[in-house]
Every structure is written in structure tokens, then in C-alpha cells.
């Protein structure tokens, strides 16, 4: 039988691209949710359509990852699309920028689909305008959703919310109805929802509407981790009167291979010397950084908590960049802090080996920005969390981790002061998470252990994510057969 070529179109940010490549591995039968022998995926080939990242830093990171995957023997192919100049009039509207940038690639995706004899198209959720190309070419098209079922439910509901609310969400004091979640305080809605007249909000309303045009939505979550939300979406409660496209929860889609880096060996050696589950790990993602005011509050909170800590601290980006710099510890930390805490703490001033740290038995808690990839890594290892959201959908993720999943101890974050956290509040949350006699911490640890078990069972033979993956493969085969019949 001739193999079916599935084209993947990721958003060029490394988090989205790497997640979709991992999903491609699963389709081929490799990796945590795909088995190891690849026999299920033999009739499929997977080709990633590479969009040029818009900044030199992200281009370097993406190119390195593409080279690593291309050099491996797993069979993922890459097709570089012709470069387009990124839009220059988006201001700081990142979601608008991503959406408009991917929209520019519609003609190139059309040409690639014809040239590569595509059988199906899987697109990042920022690329929904490309669904028009799939319809034009009679190709089955799937949206790949890199975040939570909570955000998916909200985005599906967003066109209706846009009609229901006259005021800006940042000025609203009440709660927002997201089917499958407890009532969501307006202060926990994603940043893009703040002002209704912003291009970011307009684009998210558009994407939420277009999701309904897909042949299916592949989502990086686990049925047992977000059961109520997945049920609400599948039952059509987010878009009344219209059934949602089929859902394929195939997560956790993670690249769990911790890349060895000699510059980080001292960090892991330090963890090796700590007692089991005694260290709270603080790390805030590829874009997370602190100024001196925030860093000094963190330092004071950690020092007063009395607990061991590993803190990945990054400094402000250089002019013209979004990427954090290596931290100047003398400038960011209180005088004498490193000396006073040297027996029980380590401040790591650059990129930290997060995967290796979360897998390490010494780590017993994770203070995190709540990016979904980081959260899934934490759940995979059964590490409970303290959510400190910074941007994007992270405030909604934080709400869900505390109020729906129960795997986290809440932290009071002041959004009006650029997500500021007082030292006393961080001290309270770290103590609640790490103290052995804390009821709040005990519950979060128990729920995190349950989620670890659920994540690992889901990707085993017969597990929910493996079953969803086989349903997806069969849907792709059926779609290809239908397209051949009507051609």
C-alpha cells in the first residue's frame, strides 16, 4: 500500500514546533504514546512544513532541533517553506503577530500540499486560516492544540462570550462560564482576553470559530487529567447547537530525553547531594525573567521558608530581544543572600536543565510559570506545583491546576503589578507545598501522584492516549480513502 503523507504545519516558536514534531513521532509509532516498533504507523509518512522563525534567536533554536530530528532514524521529514517577511505593524500583540505571520504562508502550504501529494494536514492552532487551503484541495484537516482542554473549551466558547459581554474582561469583576470548569474569575482569564477591541482578542475569537471547521482536534492532554472539560467539549456544550469536531487527546506529548549539557552538570550534581523530595525547584520557561524588585521578593521568601531550593533566575532581555539574558546575581539579589543560603540553595543564572531537574528524586515541588509543556513534565514525574503565571494562557492554567486538578497550592499573583508576588506570599506557598505536616501540600502531592499514574497508563498499550492515537490514524486513512473516491 502506498504510504499516506501527513503534513504538519507548526507555529515556528520552539515550544509549538517541538510539540507538533513529537506528535508526528507518535503518528509514526515512535515515542511515549506511539509504541516502540512503529508497525502501526508504517503506512503513514510525516512531513513537517518549516516556517522560518521571525527572530535570529528562535531561528537558531529551531534549526538545531530540526537538524537533530532529521539526523535521527525516526523518519520525520522536513520541507522548508519559502520565507515571508513577518508583519511589522503588530506592536506588542504577539497572538496577532503569530496568526498573521502564519496566514502569509497559505500559498506556500497549498503548493507544498500539491508537490508532496499530501493525504492530510495537521495545523497549529494559530494557523486556522490554512483550513481554507485544505478545503480547496479536499484534504482532511486537523487542528493541533498545544495547550489545555481548559483553553480549548474557552476558545470554542469565545465567539459566544464576545456577544454576551459588553465590557472588557480586564474591567469585569465577576466570573466567566467555561463548560467543564468551576466558574472562572475574570482575573484568571488569559491575557489576550483583556480588551475586546485588541487584535489579539479578535484573532482568538476567529480561531475559536474556525476550530469548528476542522475534521478533528488533536490535543496535548490526557483523558484522565481533564475528563470534565473533554466531556463538555465532546458533548457540544461549548458551542450550543453545533457538535464539536472529534477530539483526539494523545498526550502527554513530550520529548522526555534530557539533552546532556556539560555547562549544567554542576546543577544536577548539586541535586544529587540533596535528600529525597526536599528541594523546591523554581523555573519560569524560555521567556520568563525577573527584575531586581521581583527577584529580591523571591529571595526573601525562599530564605524565610527554610526549605532547600534550586532557582533558575534569568535577567532582562537585551535591547530588541524577547529572550532573557544570563542573570547578573550581584545586581538582582539582596546583599549576602547567596552566602546565607549556600548550604541549602542554588541560584542558577542561565537556562536550567528542567527535564532532568523534574525527573530528579530530590525535587519535591515546582514553582512554575504554568506553560503547558512544563506542567505536563511536572505531572509526568508526579511533582506538585505552585503556579506563578506570567503571560499567555498561564493564568487560566494556574486556576485549573488549583481548582480543577488539585495538583497545586495557590499563589496570590498581582496581575495589576506585572504579576508581582510578595515575599511573605511565596514563603507561605512554599511552606504549604513542602512542609510534611501541611494538609494543603499533602493533597497536592497525592493528586500529583495520581496524575503521574494516569499519564503513564494513558500511553501504554490499551491506554486512553494510545487508543485516541489509533482512532486518529484510522480517521486519516478513512479521509484519504474518501478523497480518492471523490477525486
pLDDT in tens, 326-338: 999 999 999 999 9
Sign of CA dihedral 46, 246, 155, 31: negative
How large is the average pLDDT for residues 76-103? 95
Cell 526573601, residue located: 300
pTM of the model: 0.95
How much is the pLDDT for 90? Answer: 94
Annotated active-site residue in 16, 369, 381, 395 = 16
The string of pLDDT tens digits covering residues 270-290 is 999 999 999 999 999 988 999
Using the predicted structure, report yes or no on whether residue 20 has a pLDDT greater than 60: yes
Residue 44 has pLDDT above 50, yes or no: yes
Decide if pLDDT at 487 tops 90: no
Residues contacting residue 83 through CB under 8 Å, at least 6 positions apart = 52
pLDDT score at 445: 98
Short-list 485, 472, 477, 458, CA closest to 224: 458
- Report how far Cα 482 is from the mean position of its chain's Cα atoms: 33
Q: Bigger pLDDT: 379 or 33?
A: 379
Q: What per-residue confidence (pLDDT) applies to 38?
A: 46
* HSE-up (13 A, CA, CB side) for residue 436: 3
Q: Any residues with CB less than 8 A from the CB of 275 and at least 6 apart, and which?
A: 308, 362
Residues 439/443/444/450 CA torsion (nearest 10 deg): 160
Say whether pLDDT at 260 is over 80: no
What average pLDDT does the chain have? 94
What number is the average pLDDT over the span 3-15? 94
SS (H, E, C) the chain: CCCEEEEEECCCCHHHHHHHHHHHHHHHCCCCCCCCCCHHHCCEEEEEEECCCCCHHHHHHHHHHHHHHHHCCCCCEEEECCCCCCCCCCCCCHHHHHHHHHHCCHHHHHHHHHHCCEEEEEEEHHHHHHHHHHHHCCCCEEEEECCCHHHHHHHHHHHHHHHHCCCCHHHCCCEECCCCCCCEEHHHCCHHHCCCCCHHHHHHHHHHHHHHHCCEEEECCCCCCCHHHHHHHHCCCCCCCCCCCCEEECCCCCCCCCCCCHHHHHHHHHHHCCCCCCEEEEECCCCCCCCHHHHHHHHHHHHHHCCEEEEECEECCCCCCCCCEECCHHHHCCCCHHHHCCCCEEEECCCCCHHHHHHCCCEEEEEECCCHHHHHHHHHCCCCEEECCCCCCHHHHHHHHHHHHCCECCCCCEHHHCCECCHHHHHHHHHHHHCCCCHHHHHHHHHHHHHHHHHHHHCCCCCHHHHHHHHHHHHHHHHHHHHHHHC
Active site residue 369: no
C-alpha cell at 380: 509526568
Catalytic residue among 30, 108, 124, 381: 124
Query: Residue 92: what pLDDT?
Result: 84
Strands 314-315 and 325-326 come out as antiparallel
CA–chain centroid gap for 444, Å, is 21
pLDDT tops 80 at residue 262: no
**What would the pLDDT profile of 67-87 be if each residue is shown by its tens digit?**
999 998 789 999 999 999 999
In degrees, to the nearest 5, what angle opens at C-alpha 109 toward C-alphas 108 and 110? 90
What is the per-residue pLDDT for 240?
Answer: 87
- Contact between 20 and 50 under an 8 Å Cβ cutoff? The reply is no
Sheet strands side by side (includes 216-219): 77-80, 44-50, 4-9, 118-124, 141-145, 216-219, 247-249
Question: Residues 404-453: pLDDT tens digits?
Answer: 999 999 999 999 999 999 999 999 999 999 999 999 999 999 999 999 99
Residues forming a β-bridge with 408: 385
Q: Has residue 32 got a pLDDT over 60?
A: no
| Distance in angstroms (rounded) separating the CA atoms of residues 99 and 119 | 24
pLDDT tens, residue by residue, 114-167: 999 999 999 999 999 999 999 999 999 999 999 999 999 999 999 999 999 999
Whether the Cβ atoms of residue 10 and residue 47 lie closer than 8 Å to each other? no
Q: What is the mean pLDDT of residues 383-401?
A: 97
Grid coordinates representing 230? 473533554
**Contacts of the segment 321-324: beta carbons below 8 A, 24+ positions apart:** 321/55, 321/57, 322/55, 322/57, 322/287, 323/55, 323/57, 323/286, 323/287, 324/286, 324/287, 324/288, 324/289
Cell reading at 357: 531537574
Q: How confident is the model at residue 34 (pLDDT cuts 50, 70, 90)?
A: low
323 pLDDT above the threshold of 90: no
Report the pLDDT value the prediction gives residue 37, as an integer from 0 to 100: 43
* Dist. CA 397–CA 415, nearest whole Å: 15
Cα-to-chain-centroid distance, residue 363: 21
For 442, counting Cβ atoms within 10 Å of its Cβ (0-12 exposed, 13-18 middle, 19+ buried), the class is: middle
> Is 215 among the catalytic positions?
no
In the structure grid, which three cell numbers stand for residue 58, read together? 528562535
* CA angle (98, 101, 105) in 5-degree steps: 130
Per residue in 234-249, pLDDT (tens digit) is 999 999 889 999 999 9
Amino acid at each position: 500500500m502506498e504510504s499516506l503523507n501527513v503534513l504538519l504545519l507548526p507555529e515556528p516558536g520552539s515550544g509549538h514546533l517541538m510539540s507538533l514534531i513529537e506528535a508526528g513521532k507518535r503518528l509514526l509509532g515512535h515515542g511515549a504514546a506511539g509504541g516502540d516498533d512503529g508497525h502501526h504507523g508504517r503506512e503513514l509518512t510525516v512531513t513537517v512544513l518549516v516556517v522560518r522563525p521571525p527572530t535570529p534567536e528562535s531561528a537558531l533554536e529551531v534549526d538545531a532541533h530540526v537538524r537533530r530530528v532529521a539526523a535521527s532514524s525516526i523518519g520525520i521529514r522536513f520541507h522548508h517553506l519559502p520565507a515571508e517577511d513577518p508583519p511589522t505593524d503588530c506592536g506588542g500583540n504577539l497572538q496577532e503577530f503569530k496568526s498573521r505571520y502564519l496566514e502569509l504562508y497559505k500559498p506556500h502550504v497549498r503548493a507544498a500540499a500539491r508537490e508532496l501529494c499530501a493525504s492530510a494536514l495537521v495545523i497549529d492552532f494559530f494557523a486556522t486560516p490554512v483550513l481554507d487551503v485544505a478545503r480547496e484541495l479536499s484534504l482532511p484537516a486537523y487542528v493541533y492544540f498545544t495547550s489545555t482542554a481548559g483553553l480549548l473549551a474557552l476558545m470554542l466558547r469565545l465567539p459566544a462570550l464576545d456577544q454576551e459581554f459588553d465590557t472588557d474582561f480586564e474591567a469585569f469583576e465577576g466570573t466567566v462560564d467555561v463548560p467543564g470548569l468551576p466558574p472562572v474569575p475574570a482575573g484568571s482569564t488569559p491575557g489576550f482576553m483583556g480588551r475586546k477591541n485588541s487584535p489579539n482578542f479578535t484573532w482568538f475569537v476567529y480561531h475559536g470559530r474556525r476550530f469548528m471547521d476542522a475534521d478533528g482536534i488533536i490535543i496535548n492532554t490526557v483523558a484522565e487529567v481533564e475528563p470534565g472539560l473533554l466531556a463538555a467539549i465532546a458533548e457540544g456544550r461549548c458551542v450550543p447547537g453545533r457538535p464539536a469536531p472529534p477530539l483526539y487527546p494523545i498526550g502527554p506529548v513530550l520529548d522526555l530525553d534530557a539533552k546532556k549539557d556539560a555547562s549544567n552538570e554542576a546543577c544536577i550534581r548539586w541535586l544529587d547531594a540533596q535528600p529525597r523530595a526536599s528541594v523546591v525547584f523554581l523555573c519560569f520557561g524560555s521567556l520568563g525573567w525577573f527584575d531586581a524588585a521581583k527577584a529580591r521578593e523571591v529571595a526573601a521568601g525562599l530564605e524565610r521558608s527554610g526549605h532547600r531550593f534550586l532557582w533558575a533566575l534569568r535577567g532582562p532581555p537585551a535591547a530588541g530581544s524577547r529572550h532573557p539574558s544570563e542573570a547578573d546575581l550581584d545586581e538582582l539579589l539582596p546583599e549576602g543572600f547567596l552566602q546565607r543560603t549556600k548550604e541549602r540553595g542554588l541560584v542558577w543564572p542561565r537556562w536550567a536543565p528542567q527535564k532532568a531537574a523534574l525527573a530528579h528524586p530530590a525535587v519535591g515541588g515546582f514553582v512554575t510559570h504554568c506553560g503547558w509543556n512544563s506542567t505536563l513534565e511536572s505531572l509526568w514525574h508526579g511533582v506538585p506545583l505552585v503556579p506563578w503565571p506570567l503571560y499567555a494562557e498561564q493564568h487560566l492554567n494556574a486556576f485549573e491546576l488549583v481548582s480543577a486538578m488539585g495538583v497545586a497550592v495557590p499563589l496570590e499573583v498581582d496581575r495589576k503589578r506585572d504579576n508581582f508576588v510578595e515575599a511573605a506570599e511565596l514563603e507561605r506557598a512554599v511552606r504549604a507545598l513542602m512542609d510534611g505536616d501541611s494538609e494543603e501540600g499533602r493533597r497536592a502531592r497525592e493528586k500529583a501522584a495520581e496524575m503521574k499514574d494516569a499519564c503513564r497508563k494513558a500511553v501504554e498499550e490499551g491506554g486512553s492516549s494510545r487508543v485516541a492515537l489509533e482512532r486518529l490514524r484510522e480517521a486519516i486513512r478513512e479521509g484519504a480513502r474518501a478523497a480518492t473516491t471523490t477525486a
